[in-house]
Structure 1
Amino acid sequence: MTLYFAFLATLIISFVHCQNFNSNQVQRGSYGSIPSDNRMQTFPWVIAVLDQRDWIFRYIGAGSLIKTNVVLTAAHILNDTTEDDLLVRAGEWDTSTTKDRQHVDLEVLTIVSHEQFNRFNAENNVALLILKSEFELSTNIAIIPLYLVETEFKRGSCFFNGWGKVYLNSTDYPTILKTVHVDPLNTDVCSRRLRRKLSNQICAESLGEKDCSGDGGAPVVCRISQYPTKYAQVGIVNWLTQKRGDNTPTVYTKVRSMIPWINYHATRIRN
């Protein structure tokens, strides 16, 4: 089944597959929060990354808004796209309608993919999309901070959002932004279970019956223990296809390890 995004003013697109910045660097001690709209919770930092070639607006993955003109995502979802091929959307919730809330689309000025991205083991799977203009922040469009401290997270405190598939062997994609809960593992435990050392990566308990194809680039966000209503990004979704009964931990890009790279490129290029 193909999922369709409702484009602003009835144009349709088809579906395929902690850090607040100041002008120069990471701003410490600032965390994101979720609006208290339980009926239509937006997770306002989530960005839809769209391929707009041939006027067929295809969803290729997700990202996070880390600066008003910078989106953090995964390098692997971009493939051979150029800046002119891409569009990013903020404030989306229900892709089947334009009446739920106002979303905003912006064009991409520059793609910056990590120079050492490894397609075989997903190391350094990170990219920045520098936008031609800036999003105006609102209740459904907000910046997510990047988590700066090495710490353990409580079970059930971490999740990611996307419009990818929910269940294994499913042909359906959700039209409403879904939430997938994950439980990060200690690095040593993870390395033993994966039988390899992790480089710039974190991992979490398996997703069980989940598939989540199409969520590449989505922000893995955790609740901050000392601030129960605040959140920060700790990871970026890589590949999540999983065989039934497979208990292998799922690997994500470790945002904390990427902060120097993110800081440098996010402030080096100006529109």
Structure 2
Amino acid sequence: MCREYYSLTTRGGGTIESGGCRTNNRVRKSLLTIVGGTKAEEMEFPHMVLLGFGEKIKNVEWACGGSLISDRFVLSAAHCSEIGKKTPVKWALLGDNDIGSNEGAADPKIREIVERILHPNYKPPSMYNDIGLYRLSTPVKFNQFILPVCLNSEEQLTTKQAIAIGWGRTSSAGQTSNVLMKVSLDFVEQNECNRSYSSSTNPNLKFGINPSNQICAGQMEGGKDTCQGDSGGPLQIVHPEFECMYTQVGITSFGKLCGEPNAPGVYTKVSNYVSWIDSIVWPTSS
């Protein structure tokens, strides 16, 4: 599916075939390091989606992230289907970078979420299998601001870092950000991560961190992390084959205090769920 997406980017109505980047040259020079992060550029993450709660769009409360994986489906955390006493998640904002401004070339789109499909093995308050699919009311039209992300299907990751993005808090006690933020995080080994998360310290992690369906990422010395409001957003790596594209490897699931030492974030491991995702988003005709 990524090969098809690679030729979908348009500028001024013309298709840009392979080699045409969606972003300006500043974006890909480095993974500049939302706690400890930097602002994302317009069109850098066109798959990013903001999820909102509220019966009416005029009263929406944006509280989770997600990623566009097709013209009708958003991938996010299962726990983002309902947060606290809020009504079920109902709105998806696509193609925006700065939700506090109407300036720029972006033309954001809002879709109602009409179906929430949580993984059958998601059993809260257990923190395993925290993954869900959210179907949009009508398909979205792809452009340089709105494009799906590729999904990682490889069990083993060969890179040492990934990029997390979101509009969440910039510190544990801070405010959420109007501008999409990005941060480069180190992958953390299971044994090291289990020192922070175990069944003895968290009864909702009966088996500790499960490397089959969870990934740990952060900075063990502290300073860089995802935070409240970033839940459901993608953890991604630069696509190894298609220039200027990303592959999603994780979904922001949970953590401790944001950016604290020895407290990496925990992400749902996408590769473990690709078959389940395929069966819903791209079902084979019988």
Bucket of the pairwise TM-score, normalised by the shorter protein:
0.7 to 0.9
Deviation at 1:142, TM superposition (A): 0.4
Q: How far has the Cα of 1:225 moved from its partner?
A: 4.2
Contact between 1:222 and 1:232, CA under 8 Å: does it hold in 2? yes
Q: What pairs up with 1:240-255 in 2 under 5 angstroms? A: 240-242=255-257, 245-255=260-270
d(CA) in 2 for partners of 1:34 and 1:268?
30
Change (3 A) 1:230 1:52: same
Aligned counterpart, 1:231: 246
Judge conservation of contact 1:91–1:140 (CA < 8 Å) in 2. yes
Please state if 1:118 is matched with 2:123.
yes
Q: Which residue of 2 aligns with 1:36?
A: 23
Q: How much does 1:228 deviate?
A: 6.1
Structure 2: how far apart are the matches of 1:239 and 1:68? 27
Tell me which residue corresponds to 2:65. 62
CA deviation string 1:53-102 (max 9, x = no partner):
2441110201000011010011112217777x611111011111122221
Q: CA deviation at 1:103?
A: 0.4
| One-letter amino acid of the counterpart of residue 48, structure 2 | V
Per-residue deviation at 1:49? 0.7
Fraction of identical pairs, as percent: 23
Decide whether aligned partners of structure 1 residues 244 and 154 sit closer, same or farther in structure 2, where only a CA change above 3 A counts.
closer
CA distance in structure 2 between the aligned counterparts of 1:141 and 1:19, rounded to whole angstroms: 14
Judged with a 3 Å threshold, the aligned counterparts in structure 2 of structure 1 residues 183 and 255 are, in CA distance, closer, same or farther, namely: same
Question: Where do residues 74-113 of structure 1 align in structure 2 (5 Å cutoff)?
Answer: 74-79=77-82, 86-100=90-104, 101-113=106-118
Give the drift of 1:211.
5.5
Aligned counterpart, 1:216: 231
Separation in 1 of the partners of 2:217 and 2:230?
16
User: Does residue 265 of structure 1 match 2:280?
Assistant: yes
Displaced runs of 4 or more, over 6 A: 18-22, 80-83
**Conservation of the 8 A alpha-carbon contact between 1:206 and 1:250:** no
The answer as to 2:149 corresponding to 1:144 is: yes
Return the alpha-carbon distance in structure 2 between the equivalents of residues 149 and 167 of structure 1: 32
Are the counterparts in 2 of residues 19 and 233 from structure 1 also a CA contact under 8 Å? no
TM-score, structure 2 normalization? 0.73
Q: Does residue 132 of structure 1 match 2:134?
A: no
* TM-aligned CA deviation for residue 151 of structure 1: 2.6
Contact 2:131 2:268 in 1 (8 A): yes
**Distance in 2 between residues matched to 1:182 and 1:245, nearest whole Å:** 13
Across the aligned residues of Structure 1 and Structure 2, the Cα RMSD in angstroms comes to: 3.1
Q: Matched residue of 2:187: which SS?
A: coil
1:253 deviates by 0.4
- Deviation, structure 1 residue 221: 0.5
1:248–1:267 distance in 2 versus 1, CA, 3 Å: same
How far residue 146 of structure 1 moved from its aligned partner, in angstroms, is 0.3
Report if aligned partners of 2:171, 2:259 keep a CA contact under 8 Å in 1: no
What secondary structure, in the 3-state scheme, does the structure 1 residue paired with 2:152 have? Answer: coil
1:184 lines up with 2:187 in the alignment: yes
Matched position secondary structure for 2:254: coil
